[in-house]
Chain A
Amino acid sequence: MTDRVITNSIRTLRFLNNEMTQKQLAEAIGVTRQTVMAIEANKYSPSLEVAFKIAEVFSLPLEEVFQYKEAE
Chain B
Amino acid sequence: MTRQQKFKEWLDSCSFREVTLLVDLLVCGYLLFYYLRAVLLASDEQLSDITWLSGLLGNVIIYSIILMIASYILLALASDKELEQPMDVREKQINLIGYKYSAWILQIGLGIGIFQYQIEANPFFADKISMPFLPLHIMVVAFILAEIVFYGVQLIKGRTGAIYD
Asked whether A47 lies within 8 Å of B18 as measured between CB atoms, the reply is: no
Asked whether B89 lies within 8 Å of A50 as measured between CB atoms, the reply is: yes
Bound complex: CA A35 to CA B15 (Å): 10
Asked whether B161 lies within 8 Å of A32 as measured between CB atoms, the reply is: no
Bound complex: CA A23 to CA B147 (Å): 30
CB-defined interface of A35-52 with B at 8 Å, one 1/0 digit per residue? Answer: 101100101101100100
Bound complex: CA A37 to CA B91 (Å): 13
Bound complex: CA A43 to CA B18 (Å): 18
* B90, CB-defined interface residue at 8 Å: yes
Asked whether B15 lies within 8 Å of A34 as measured between CB atoms, the reply is: yes
A48 to chain B, nearest CB (A): 11
Asked whether A38 lies within 8 Å of B15 as measured between CB atoms, the reply is: no
Bound complex: CA A13 to CA B158 (Å): 24
| Chain B positions 85-143 with a Cβ under 8 Å from a chain A Cβ | 85, 88-91
* B51, CB-defined interface residue at 8 Å: no
Q: How many residues of chain B get a CB closer than 8 Å to chain A's CBs?
A: 13
Asked whether A32 and B89 contact (CB < 8 A) given A44-B161, A44-B163, the answer is no
Bound complex: CA A44 to CA B164 (Å): 8
Bound complex: CA A35 to CA B162 (Å): 12
Asked whether B88 lies within 8 Å of A44 as measured between CB atoms, the reply is: no
Asked whether A43 and B89 contact (CB < 8 A) given A32-B15, A33-B15, A34-B15, the answer is no
By CB atoms of chain A within 10 A, which of B18, B88, B160, B162 has the most?
Answer: B88
Query: What A residues does B162 contact at CB under 8 A?
Result: 43
Q: List 16 A-B contacts (CB under 8 A).
A: A30-B88, A31-B88, A31-B90, A33-B15, A34-B15, A34-B18, A34-B90, A34-B91, A34-B158, A35-B90, A35-B91, A37-B161, A38-B90, A38-B161, A44-B90, A44-B161
Residues of B that sit less than 8 Å from A by CB: 15, 17-18, 85, 88-91, 158, 160-163
Residues of A that sit less than 8 Å from B by CB: 30-35, 37-38, 41, 43-44, 46-47, 50
Known: A32-B85, A34-B90, A43-B162. 9 other contacts (CB 8 A): A30-B88, A31-B90, A32-B88, A33-B15, A34-B15, A34-B17, A34-B18, A34-B158, A47-B89
